[in-house]
Each structure stands twice: as C-alpha cells, then as structure tokens.
Chain A
Amino acid sequence: EPEVTQTPSHQVTQMGQEVILRCVPISNHLYFYWYRQILGQKVEFLVSFYNNEISEKSEIFDDQFSVERPDGSNFTLKIRSTKLEDSAMYFCASTIPLSYEQYFGPGTRLTVT
C-alpha cells in the first residue's frame, strides 16, 4: 500500500540554524500539507500546497517557513532560522483532488537546542 515517507525521522539542530524537512507524498496525490504537533498538544495545520503554490497557510507559517516541491516526488519544509519553540513533530500529508481524507507520514521529530 502506498505511503507518505518523511526524512529524517529525527533532526537535532541549534537555535538559529536552517533545517529542511523532506517528504515524499503518495505518487498520484496532488495536494500536500505540513502539520506539526508540539509535545502534549494537538496536531496543528501549517500549510497546504497545490499546483506548485501555497493554497492555504496558518498564522504559525510566518516568513521563517517556506515550502517547495523541487522535483516530481519530494515536498520540503524549510525553517530558515530555528527557534526553541519550533521543537515539535512535523507531519507531512497528501491527498487527491476532491478528497477529504489526508494521509500522513510518520513524522520528523525536530529538536532545537
């Protein structure tokens, strides 16, 4: 069964450093998302991406964040200058047009020290 994959599974970085989190969505999916979950809190939407542009973003997704689909398979989230409060699990998700069900990857645990 096709799955969303994410790399790395765990990333440790120092405050102020740039990180890139990578995702490979399910191959025939056209909508892509990033969510995050801070420890003990709920899963929060960050951004959605369709047709090579951002279709929706949350207040969390400020100028420090960017997304890109650099090729036909990868979808990336870049945090330019990480802060301690960026420490969280980051989940990538994807879906097909006209669908409500989103399929999530296993997540990347980002730890900012």
Chain B
Amino acid sequence: DQQVKQNSPSLSVQEGRISILNCDYTNSMFDYFLWYKKYPAEGPTFLISISSIKDKNEDGRFTVFLNKSAKHLSLHIVPSQPGDSAVYFCAASRSAASKLTFGTGTRLQVTL
C-alpha cells in the first residue's frame, strides 16, 4: 500500500539554508495533508497541514505547498536550524477524524 510516498529517505542541509521535503500521493480521495516531525524515541508531533482546497499554507519558518494536479506536496523550512534535524512524515486523510495514511519519512539533517 503505497498511497503516500516520500522518495527521499534522507536529506542534508546547511544551517540557514532552505530544506525542501517532498511527498507524492496516489489516492485522489485524500482531502487533507499533514506533516509530522519525529525525534527518536518520541511520537510524531504535528507540524503543519493543508486542505486540498488550498495550494499553500504558511506557519513561521514552515510552508507547505500542494499541487493537486500532480498529486504532490512539499514542506519548505527556511531558514533551517539544527533543531530541525528529525524524521519528517507526510500524512494524508480522507475526512476529518479518519485514519491518517503516512509516508515512509525523510530524515533531515541540518548541519552547522
């Protein structure tokens, strides 16, 4: 079941630069997308989300872009900070309060 895919298992970015994490999905029934951040030995932490009726949502250093026609979304972090080093999961949902379908995650390493 590969309905949500994150094709880059890892990404290394210098502090201060932009981090771009990508996610693709196949199920056109998804109407809401979320990004979660996960540190080792902790649960996923909600970061930012976007409804399928929007193409951009911004929250401080984090911006999520959605391209519905391409079934693609991306998370931009600018500027990247060492504390951003974590695994980032893209997730999708078909309706409010329904299950989340996760991607495989991208490990972001922000270097000094």
B25 proximal to A (CB < 8 A) = no
Please tell me the size bucket of the interface on A: 20 to 34
Q: Is the CB of A106 within 8 A of B97?
A: no
Contact of A100 among B34, B43, B102, B105 (CB under 8 A): B34
Instruction: Establish whether residues B34 and A45, one from each chain, have CB atoms under 8 Å apart when the complex forms.
Output: no
The answer to whether the Cβ of B88 comes within 8 Å of any Cβ in the partner chain is no
Chain B residues with Cβ under 8 A from A20's Cβ?
A: none
Are A48 and B34 interface neighbours, CB within 8 A? Answer: no
Tell me the count of chain B residues lying within 8 A, CB to CB, of chain A. 23
What residue in chain B is nearest A57 (Cβ atoms)?
B99
Contact partner of A97 among B41, B45, B97, B100, CB < 8 A? B97
Q: Is the CB of B46 within 8 A of A102?
A: yes
Which A residues lie within 8 Å of B100 (CB)? Answer: 35, 43, 45, 102
Q: How far is the CB of B20 from chain A (nearest CB, A)?
A: 20
B residues 68-110 near A (Cβ < 8 Å) are 89, 91, 93, 96-105
CA distance A95 to B44 in the complex (A): 14
A42-B89, A100-B49 as given contacts; A50 in contact with B97, CB under 8 Å: yes
A101-B103 contact, Cβ under 8 Å, with A42-B89, A95-B97: no
Smallest Cβ distance from A11 to chain B, in angstroms?
14
Instruction: Indicate whether A33 reaches chain B with its CB closer than 8 angstroms.
Output: yes
CB atoms of B44 and A48 under 8 A apart: no
Asked whether any CB of chain A lies closer than 8 Å to the CB of B32, the reply is yes
Q: Closest 10 A-B residue pairs measured CB to CB?
A: A104-B43, A45-B99, A43-B102, A100-B32, A42-B104, A31-B97, A104-B44, A98-B96, A106-B43, A42-B102
9 further A-B contacts with Cβ under 8 Å, apart from A48-B97, A107-B42, A107-B43, are A42-B102, A43-B91, A50-B97, A56-B99, A93-B43, A97-B96, A102-B46, A102-B100, A106-B41
